[in-house]
Amino acid sequence: MRAVLLTGDLVVASRVEGAAARAGIALETTSTVEQAVAICGLRHVPLVLVDLSTPAFRPSELMERLASHSSERPTVVAFGPHVHEALLSAAREADCDEVVSRGEFFARLDAIVARAVKKDDSSAGN
């Protein structure tokens, strides 16, 4: 299984890489919507993790482009600082599958990744 992380923050990337390694999945990290969509279009990617603090990022653009460029839209989990309500609201309005505060994201990171692995395994068996 493969996941994509959209972030420009090396600390975030390092923490998510650790969770991905524990779950046995490959993680590709990018800081642009274009690269994230390209990766999802080329490979089966059931999970996209989105750091809403990424500069020049619009959740609506990502969701629209994922819907039009990949055969199966991945589960999209967006996270950002709890004080940035506008960013979190924009992600909810863009129909991200899950939107959480940064603290909640890191507290539940292993569970979020494990759930995606389980969901992907069960859909592969169908």
Provide the token pair at 7. 């972030």
Architecture of the domain whose range is 2-124: 3-Layer(aba) Sandwich (3.40)
Residues 6+ apart with CB under 8 A from 48: 3, 4, 5, 6, 36, 40, 62, 66, 74, 75, 76, 77
Tokens 């990022």 belong to residue: 57
If one compares 121 and 28, the residue with the highest pLDDT of the two is 28
Tell me the pLDDT tens digit for each residue of 79-97. Answer: 999 998 999 999 999 999 9
Confidence check: pLDDT of 76 > 70: yes
Question: Residue ranges of the domains in the chain?
Answer: 2-124
Provide the token pair at 80. 């950002």
Q: Average per-residue pLDDT in the chain? A: 91
CB 81 within 8 A of CB 53: yes
